Amino acid sequence: MPNNSDFTQYPDTVAEVLSNRKYKREVLKAMKRFKKSKPFRGEFVERRAKFAKVFYELCNAYDISINLELPIEESGAGNGYYSHFNRSVSLVGKLSVVTLLHEFAHALGKNEKGACSWSLNLFRRFFPRSFERGYSDGHVLRRRD
C-alpha cells in the first residue's frame, strides 16, 4: 500500500502518465458500451444516467461496492472526490468522464499518479478526439471551450 505522501503526489503533466497500459476485459467492454451511448450528448438527466451505468459496470468489473453521487444539475466547473470513509465517489458541478474515472481509480486504491494514469489512458483510448482537443493544465486535462 502506498504511503500517505504518495496520495498527494500528482504528476507534473498529463504526458507524464500516458502509456499503453492494460485494463481488465470487463472494463474495456463497459467503456465500449459507454462510448456507444454517446455520453456527451443528450439532456443532463440522460447523460447522468449514462455516467451512473458505466460507473456501476466498472464496480462489477472489480467486484466492489461503491456509491455514486452525481450532481442534480450542472453548474460551474466539474470536480469530484472519493471518500474512503463513505465508500463513495462524488462528482460536483459538471459531469466529467475523466473525473469519474479518476475518482473510481481512487476507489481501487490508486494514489494520485496512479489515478491520473488509469483515468487519462482509459479516456484517451475510448475518446481520442476529445483527448486530443483537450490541453494539459499540469496533471489535469482541460476542455477547450
Note the pLDDT tens digit of each residue in 84-103: 999 999 999 889 999 999 99
Examine the pLDDT at 28 and tell me if it is beyond 70: yes
More confident residue, 12 or 119: 119
Residues 70, 56 contacting (CB under 8 angstroms)? no
Residue-range domain boundaries for the chain? 4-142
CA distance 141 to 135: 6
**Taking residues 24-39, what's their average pLDDT?**
98
| Cα dihedral 111→72→50→115 (10° resolution) | -10
DSSP letter at 13 equals S
CA-CA distances (angstroms) from residue 106 to 44, 76, 87, 144? 25, 23, 10, 26
Provide the pLDDT for residue 64: 97
More confident residue, 4 or 12: 12
**For residue 75, how many other CB atoms are within 10 A of its CB?**
10
pLDDT for 100-116, tens place per residue? 999 999 999 999 999 99
CA distance 145 to 142: 9
User: In angstroms, how far is CA 139 from the centroid of its own chain?
Assistant: 13
More confident residue, 30 or 20: 30
Kind plus residue range of the DSSP H or E element containing 119: helix 112-126
Task: Identify the CA nearest to 31 among candidates 86, 101, 80.
Answer: 101
User: Strands 135-137, 140-142: parallel, antiparallel or unpaired by DSSP?
Assistant: antiparallel
